[in-house]
Amino acid sequence: MVKVAVAQMVSGEVLADNLATVAQLAEEAASASAKLLLLPENFALLDSKALVSLAREEVSSGNIQKTIASLAKKHNLWIIAGSVPLLSRSGDKVYASCLVFNELGVQVGRYDKIHLFDVDVEDRHSSYRESDFIEAGDQLVVVDSPFGKIGLSICYDLRFPEHYQKLRGLGAEILVVPSAFTYVTGEAHWEVLLRARGIETQCYVLAANQGGKHSETRSSWGHSMIVDPWGEVLALRERAGKGIVLADINLPMLHKRREAMPVMQHRKTAGF
């Protein structure tokens, strides 16, 4: 068994402050003997309009990536950086990229968010249009790690079960869902979607969410959690604000569950 951590944050508009919080949470995770830490979506900056400018800075300085790599190496900790803005090919938009760093600080995986959050929500922010500044990715990614095969996703992907079925088909044993779920949509659907994805794929689900008030119009649901392959919530941060939750990954138990109920062998797709 191995201990993993998911981080909850309330990221704001000041990069240095957000990275200082990441450093604090990484130290907490390492002190608790975690071997892997998942950060939420937009952990470095939640201000969507500034992401393109930040991505251009990253090309020259790589400040975010250097910070995460340094923390991973310092704490002997795998860190999954929920989403980092990386310039698209056109240079006018960014990819929302989930980056995976191993314990040596080496980037060993990258996933560009596929499903973009272009929706209207009954909250004070009202309208969300990620496609205005984010370019969608088109590749599924599963990363090998000492803790199991990790399938990558980001936030709105969670509403598309076929995304996770395909990750399971690629060998995923652990699914990560770094997010910035709104308060309204999170209250309605966050936990049930996470548990459903775990049950359907027989994978562990690590879900790191933003959790708190970011501005006068924007609040995130929080409730960062870890779900097991039976759909049981192993760890949950019930209150808003920054912090981590911890749980153990038990791969022998996961494989025992899969052997007892071999749903992948039973799937019938003809006619659907």
How many CA atoms lie less than 13 Å away from 140 in the CB half-sphere?
A: 17
Q: How many C-beta atoms lie closer than 10 Å to residue 140's C-beta?
A: 18
Stretch 227-236: mean pLDDT: 98
Residue 47 has pLDDT above 90, yes or no: no
The average confidence (pLDDT) of the chain is 95
Confidence of residue 89 (pLDDT cuts 50, 70, 90): confident
Dist CA 215 CA 146 (whole Å):
39
Could you tell me which of 123, 161, 134 has the C-alpha nearest to residue 52? 134
pTM of the full structure: 0.96
- Find the range with the poorest average confidence among 49-53, 91-95, 251-255: 49-53
Stretch 230-250: mean pLDDT: 97
Stretch 72-77: mean pLDDT: 98
Dist CA 147 CA 112 (whole Å):
22
- Sign for the CA dihedral angle at 212, 219, 167, 145 comes to negative
Across 114-128, 231-245, 257-271, which has the greatest mean pLDDT?
231-245
pLDDT tens for 159-178 read 999 999 999 999 999 999 99
Angle at 178 between CA 17 and CA 143, to 5 degrees: 115
**How far is Cα of residue 66 from the mean position of the Cα atoms in its chain?**
19
pLDDT tens for 53-72 read 899 988 878 999 999 999 99
Predicted confidence at residue 126, as pLDDT, reads: 73
Place of tokens 């795998």: 78
**In 3-state terms, what secondary structure has residue 31?**
helix
Rounded percentage of the chain residues whose pLDDT exceeds 70: 99
Structure tokens at 11: 């990221």
Residue 253 has pLDDT above 60, yes or no: yes
Confidence of residue 20 (pLDDT cuts 50, 70, 90): very high
Dist CA 223 CA 214 (whole Å):
16
Predicted confidence at residue 270, as pLDDT, reads: 56
Residue 272 has pLDDT above 60, yes or no: no
Could you tell me which of 253, 203, 206, 243 has the C-alpha nearest to residue 82? 206
Ordered structural domains, the chain, with CATH: 2-266 (3.60.110.10)
pLDDT tens for 140-155 read 999 999 999 999 999 9
Give me the active site residues, please: 41, 113, 155
Residue 269 has pLDDT above 80, yes or no: no
